């Protein structure tokens, strides 16, 4: 059988690039979808994924028609898109009192509308072929709320609502839809938190360390496996015990 084809949005980002390599290692042909990057960032990414079956495609998850055209091109080239990991995300941290409409809208457009724009364009093919794996990368801060993140927490909580609803719609079609909620990981996004607060957060993680992208990538890969067909609609927290709940 030919390889399963996976799209990872935010594919050259901190978590995205590691997810791409992990999925490639487990036998997928991977498309790393991301905004057009600077030549230096792109060549660093290409160096990182050298030897893995990972190809870069430039695209903007906020552009519904663009996502549709990309999916169509990939389906023509590979025959199918079997796996979608929605990992594109941004932060614009600021307390609500000071938040400008653009800081709200930018986060919602990328982090939540982006999930709709890609998923809506892949779901028909997955249903028709009777197979699909969708994983949405949410956040511990969608589960708990975070000071300065009304925009991000709303988008990330909304993402799991989307997961649960879509999981029901496609459960009989061989398509699973799940969420992974990372805690604080060693990425550029987390490095933007002011150092004293960042230190405080890291010290409060029960396992005693910050997460690594591979911690998240392993969880995503597990949910994307063919054998994970009985797991759908779940939220899998990967946070070192920072938020433990039922
Ligand atoms: N907790 C409690 N109080 C806080 C606070 C916090 N985290 N941050 C600020 N405050 C207080 C300030 O002391 C200040 O108090 P006073 O009015 O009494 O002086 C008040 O709140 C307002 O503070 P600021 O004017 O500094 O607030 P701000 O709007 O400029 O922004 C902030 C504050 C920079 C957003 C800050 O709260 C912060 O860094 N929060 C954490 C954000 C965070 O964790 N982001 C995660 C990014 S990584 C990620 O998101 C990945 C993932 O999925 C895990």
Please identify which of the residues 45, 56, 131, 152 carries the catalytic annotation: 152
Expressed in angstroms and rounded, the spacing between residue 94 Cα and the centre of ligand 1 is: 7
Q: What average pLDDT score do residues 148-173 get?
A: 98
pTM reported for the whole predicted model: 0.96
pLDDT at 70: 98
| pLDDT tens digits for range 93-143 | 999 999 999 999 999 999 999 999 999 999 999 999 999 999 999 999 999
Q: Is 200 in the pocket of ligand 1 (CB under 6 A)?
A: no
In the three-class reduction of DSSP (H, G, I as helix; E, B as strand; rest coil), residue 47 is classed as helix
Options 3.30.70.3170, 3.40.190.170, 3.40.50.12780, 3.40.50.720; CATH of 5-238: 3.40.50.720
Q: Is 193 in the pocket of ligand 1 (CB under 6 A)?
A: yes
Position 2 confidence tier, pLDDT thresholds 50, 70, 90: confident
Q: Taking the domains of the chain in order of start, what are their residue ranges? A: 5-238
Q: Which atom of ligand 1 is nearest to the CA of 193?
A: 39
| pLDDT tens digits for range 48-81 | 999 999 999 999 999 999 999 999 999 999 999 9
Q: Which residues on neighbouring strands pair with residue 9, listed in sequence order?
A: 33, 86
Position 1 confidence tier, pLDDT thresholds 50, 70, 90: low
| pLDDT tens digits for range 11-21 | 999 999 999 99
Alpha carbon nearest to ligand 1 atom 22, residue: 95
Expressed in angstroms and rounded, the spacing between residue 149 Cα and the centre of ligand 1 is: 8
- Distance CA(41)–CA(12), nearest Å, equals 9
User: How far is residue 245 from each of residues 164, 235, 238, 241, measured CA to CA in Å?
Assistant: 18, 11, 12, 9
Alpha carbon nearest to ligand 1 atom 3, residue: 147
pLDDT at 140: 98
| pLDDT tens digits for range 163-187 | 999 999 999 999 999 999 999 999 9
DSSP string, 7-40: EEETTTSHHHHHHHHHHHHTTEEEEEEE----HH
Q: Is 155 in the pocket of ligand 1 (CB under 6 A)?
A: no
Q: Is 195 in the pocket of ligand 1 (CB under 6 A)?
A: no
Tell me whether residue 48 is exposed, middle or buried, using C-beta atoms within 10 angstroms of its C-beta: 0 to 12, 13 to 18, 19 or more: middle
Residue pair 67/117 in contact (Cβ under 8 Å)? The answer is: yes
Residue tagged 């025959």 (tokens)? 79
Expressed in angstroms and rounded, the spacing between residue 178 Cα and the centre of ligand 1 is: 30
Expressed in angstroms and rounded, the spacing between residue 147 Cα and the centre of ligand 1 is: 5
| pLDDT tens digits for range 182-215 | 999 999 999 999 999 999 999 999 999 999 999 9
Q: What average pLDDT score do residues 78-92 get?
A: 98
Alpha carbon nearest to ligand 1 atom 6, residue: 147
């Amino acid at each position: 059988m030919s390889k399963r084809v996976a799209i990872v949005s935010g594919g050259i980002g901190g978590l995205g690039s590691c997810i791409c390599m992990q999925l490639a290692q487990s036998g997928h042909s991977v498309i790393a979808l991301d905004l057009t990057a600077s030549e230096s960032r792109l060549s660093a990414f290409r160096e990182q994924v050298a030897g893995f079956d990972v190809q870069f495609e430039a695209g903007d998850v906020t552009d519904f028609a663009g996502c549709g055209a990309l999916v169509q091109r990939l389906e023509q080239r590979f025959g199918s898109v079997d796996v979608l990991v929605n990992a594109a995300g941004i932060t614009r941290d600021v307390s609500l009192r000071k938040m400008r409409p653009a800081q709200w809208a930018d986060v919602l457009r990328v982090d939540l509308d982006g999930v709709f724009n890609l998923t809506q364009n892949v779901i028909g093919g997955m249903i028709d072929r009777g197979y699909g794996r969708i994983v949405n990368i949410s956040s511990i801060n969608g589960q708990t709320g975070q000071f300065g993140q009304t925009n991000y927490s709303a988008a990330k909580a909304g993402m799991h609502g989307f997961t649960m609803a879509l999981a029901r719609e496609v459960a009989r079609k061989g398509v699973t839809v799940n969420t992974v909620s990372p805690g604080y990981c060693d990425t550029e996004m987390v490095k933007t938190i002011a150092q004293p607060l960042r230190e405080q957060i890291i010290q409060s993680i029960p396992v005693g360390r910050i997460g690594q992208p591979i911690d998240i990538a392993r969880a995503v890969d597990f949910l994307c496996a063919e054998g994970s067909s009985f797991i759908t609609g779940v939220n899998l927290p990967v946070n070192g015990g920072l938020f433990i709940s039922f």
